[in-house]
Amino acid sequence: MPRVSQQHRDQRRHQILDAARRCFVREGFHQTSMADIFSEAELSAGAVYGHFNSKHDIIGAIAEEVIGQIFQVLEPIFTQSPPPRLDEAVRQGLTATDEFAFGDQGYAYLAPQVWAEALRDPSLAEIIQVRYRAIHGLVSQLVVAEQDMGRTTSEGDPDEVAKVLLSVLMGYILQRLLIGDVGPASYAAGLGALTQHG
């Protein structure tokens, strides 16, 4: 029997996650059954269970992958050399996140589901905390660079400032989903108005 290549396994895993994501966007985590995922992926139960033990494992894998992709979207913005101004980095970050999250894949519709699920599932909470800490680290580095260049007050703790800016990103996604009255440029302008010195 020929041995299955790692490339084939990776493609099959991606096929399953893609199918599950489509189901979760349409029906939500709890309304989606494993049978729904088998059908959407056009795979047998055995093929899916060969990669994931449960729907819980699939949810964790999707959460880890999506937040990791957000990191990859933000990293080139927040690590530019020379560093961008903080307000410009926030605007670029919101724009890039908006394009990623609200694109055809529907990732933004998964975010509130993942956050809610993490409140009751410590293992999922740990997965997303690790990923969000990486994004927090990116933002914190830029705050330090801004302080070193004298473009922002040196009194603020960079880690605490980064926490606030990360909440801006998460809040943007929620407001865009629930109310729909925001866009990256206007949201960044509103934040800039709050932080401008008179």
* Dihedral sign of CA atoms 155, 97, 54, 49 in order: negative
Structure tokens at 91: 């605007």
**What's the full length of the chain, in residues?**
198
Residues of the chain above pLDDT 90, percent: 73
Predicted TM-score (pTM) of this structure? 0.86
Residue limits of CATH 1.10.10.60 in the chain = 1-53
Residue limits of CATH 1.10.357.10 in the chain = 60-195
pLDDT score, position 198 = 45
Tell me which architecture the domain covering 60-195 has in CATH: Orthogonal Bundle (1.10)
19-71 residue pLDDT tens: 999 999 999 999 999 999 999 999 999 999 999 999 999 999 999 999 999 99
88-122 residue pLDDT tens: 898 999 999 999 999 988 899 999 999 999 999 99
Class in CATH terms, 1-53:
mainly alpha
- Give pairs for 191-197: CB < 8 Å, separation 24+: 191/87, 191/90, 192/87, 195/87
Structure tokens at 167: 């909440």
Per-residue pLDDT for 15 more than 90?
Answer: yes
pLDDT score, position 147 = 87
